[in-house]
Structure 1
Amino acid sequence: MIPDHIDLPGSPWPILPPGVHLATLAEVETRFTSNSKRRVQFTGFIAALANLRGAGCRRAFLDGSFVTAKPRPGDYDACWDPTSVDRAFLDPVLLTFENNRAAQKAKYHGELFPSTIPADRAGTIFLDFFQVDRFTGAPKGIVAINLSADPMLQPTVTS
C-alpha cells in the first residue's frame, strides 16, 4: 500500500514517508498517473518492467519526482534487483547509461539502474541512494513492486 505524501521542510514537493512501500502496479497507476505526462511515463515504466521480468528480475523500486506530489515530473527514476537476471534476455538499453541515460529516456521515459551499483562517489548503492531526499538529505520513501507476481506483468493467453 502506498501511504499518503508528507511535507518535508526544504523539499519542494510532498514526498513519501521513509521506508520501502510494497505496491502493485495497479496501485501505482491509480496513485500517480494523474495526467497525460504521467501516463506516458507509467507506460514506459511498464514496458521496462516487462522486459526486466522476462529476464528474470523479481523486484523493482520506483523513485524520483514521479512518486512525489510534483504535478509534471520530468521522468521517473527506478532501480531493479539484478540477483536473478539473465542478461541474455535483458534489453541492452537498460544497461546503457551514457549521455545522461538518453537511450533509456527515449525508449522507456525514465531512468533505470541495477539496485546494487554505486549511485555516487561515496559508493552508496541505488537502493539506498533513492531513499534519501536530494534537497534535504532526510530519509524518504520509495515504492517496491514484486515483478514475479504483479498481474499487470503476467503473460496473457489468447485463443
Structure 2
Amino acid sequence: MEHLAWFGWIPINEFLAFSYYNSYVVSMIPPLTIIAESPWDVLPAGIYPATMTEVEQSFGYNHHRKALFQGLLEGSAALAKAGCKTVYLDGSFVTGKPRPCDYDACWDPAGVSGDLLDPVFLDFSNGRSSQKQRFVGEFFPSSMRSGAAPFVEFFQVEKHSGKKKGILSISIAADALVLRRLG
C-alpha cells in the first residue's frame, strides 16, 4: 500500500479522499460598482442569484441592516408560504449606503395562492405603511407597473442617474433560511 511519508503514514486513498474536500464558500453577489451621479455604489447591471445567507453576509453588516434583513426574511417566508418562488431585492439596502431606510423587493406572482397570500402584500395604501411597519421594507408584485415598466425592470434603473444597475434574485422556495423560518 502506498503511503505519504510527509504526512506520516496516511494511506494514499485516504489522503486523496481528504484532499478533494473543499470548504470554500463562493458568493455570487458581485462587488458594488460606482455609477456617476449615484450617491452610493450599486450592484453592476444584471440580475444576480443569491441566497438569504449571502444577502445577510454581504449587506447585514451592522445592527440597523440586520434589522432590515430580518424583516426581509420574515416577508419572504410569508410569501413562500403562499407559494411564491422568487423575490427580487433592490433599494438602498443593496448599495453602499451605510444606513439605508428600508429595502425594496418585488415578488413573482406565478404559483402564488390568493387564499394563502397575506393581504398586507396587496396593501399599497398610506405609502405602504402596513408593509413597512411589519417588514421594515416594501414588497411589490414583480409584474405590477411603476410608470411604464414592471417593478422587476424598474428596480434595475438607478434613480439619480437613470443608468442600469443590478438587483438580486432569491429563490425563496428552496432557500435554507426561509425554509427554516417556515418551520
Q: TM-score range by the shorter chain?
A: over 0.9
Q: Tell me what 2:12 maps to.
A: none
Number of the residue aligned with 2:154? 129
Structure 2 unmatched runs, 5+: 1-27
Q: Is the 8 A contact 2:33 2:44 kept in 1?
A: yes
1:36 aligned to which of 63, 66, 90 = 63
Tell me the distance in 2 between the aligned counterparts of 1:92 and 1:16. 31
Which residue in the other structure is 2:49 paired with? 22
Report whether the alignment pairs 1:97 with 2:124.
Answer: yes
- In structure 2, the residue corresponding to 1:70 is in which secondary structure? coil
CA contact (8 A) 2:106 2:141 kept: yes
Does residue 8 (structure 1) correspond to residue 24 (structure 2)? The answer is no
Inter-partner Cα distance in structure 2 for 1:58 and 1:85: 8
Structure 1 position 150 matched with structure 2 position 175: yes
How many residue pairs get matched? Answer: 156
Shift of 1:153: 1.4
Deviation at 1:34, TM superposition (A): 1.1
Change (3 A) 1:89 1:15: same
In the aligned structure 2, how far is the partner of 1:157 from the partner of 1:98? 27
Compute the RMSD of aligned alpha carbons: 1.3
Q: Tell me which stretches of 4 or more aligned residues in structure 1 moved more than 4 Å.
A: 155-158
SS at match of 1:88: coil
How far apart are 1:36 and its partner, in Å? Answer: 1.1
Pairs within 5 Å for 1:61-140: 61-120=88-147, 123-140=148-165
Q: Deviations over 1:82-140 (max 9, x none)?
A: 011001111111111011110000000001100001112xx210000000000011000
Residue by residue over 1:33-88, the C-alpha shift from the partner in whole angstroms, topping out at 9 and shown as x without a partner, is: 11111111110110000010000000000000000000000000000000110011
Identity of aligned residues (%): 46
TM-score by length of 2: 0.83
Q: TM-score, normalised by structure 1?
A: 0.95
Q: Secondary structure at the match of 1:14?
A: coil
